[in-house]
Amino acid sequence: MKHVFNGKTYQTLCGIGIVAVAIVSCTSIPPPTEQLAVSKMAVSNATIVGANEYASEDMRAAQDKLDRAVKAMNAEDYKNALTLAEQAQVDAQLATAKTRAAKAEKAANIVVEDSRVLQKELERKQQ
């Protein structure tokens, strides 16, 4: 048996197929609950190490993206929620790294200053 589709029928079937693929692709993204939890932990860890003081811009960006990810999750926009949660995690990790680097630099400067003071004291005692 031979099936014959006219141009209009073919266009309609193609349109239905495209819509079906779009619907399936949108619903195939599961809720990113694990990523959201990881991002929340990264923001929390950054806060604990003091990133609000040493990397405030990165912390604001991380918190903003995390808040937007939660809103997207509640709206069942899982693709956007996943993307924002991943970005929030990266921003929080960057803030943590910057904070640790700033604290290490501060500690190194203290050691250098203490060494300088000790060196002066030794020189004074030798005179």
Instruction: Dump pLDDT digits (tens) for 85-123.
Output: 999 999 999 999 999 999 999 999 999 998 998 888 888
Q: Does 44 map to a domain?
A: yes
Q: Does 9 map to a domain?
A: no
3-state secondary structure of 78: helix
Q: Does 94 map to a domain?
A: yes
Q: Does 62 map to a domain?
A: yes
- Please, what is the Cα angle at 30 between 43 and 12, to 5 degrees? 135
Distance of CA 57 to the CA centre of its chain: 13
- Please, what is the Cα angle at 23 between 18 and 28, to 5 degrees? 125
In this prediction, residue 117 carries a pLDDT of 87
Domain region containing 95: 31-126
Q: Does 3 map to a domain?
A: no
- How many distinct structural domains can be found in the chain? 1
Q: Does 14 map to a domain?
A: no
pLDDT higher than 60, residue 57: yes
pLDDT higher than 60, residue 30: yes
Q: How far apart are CA 63 and CA 40, in angstroms?
A: 9
CATH number for the domain spanning 73: value is: 1.20.1270.390
Q: Does 119 map to a domain?
A: yes
Q: Does 97 map to a domain?
A: yes
The answer, as to whether pTM is greater than 0.95, is: no
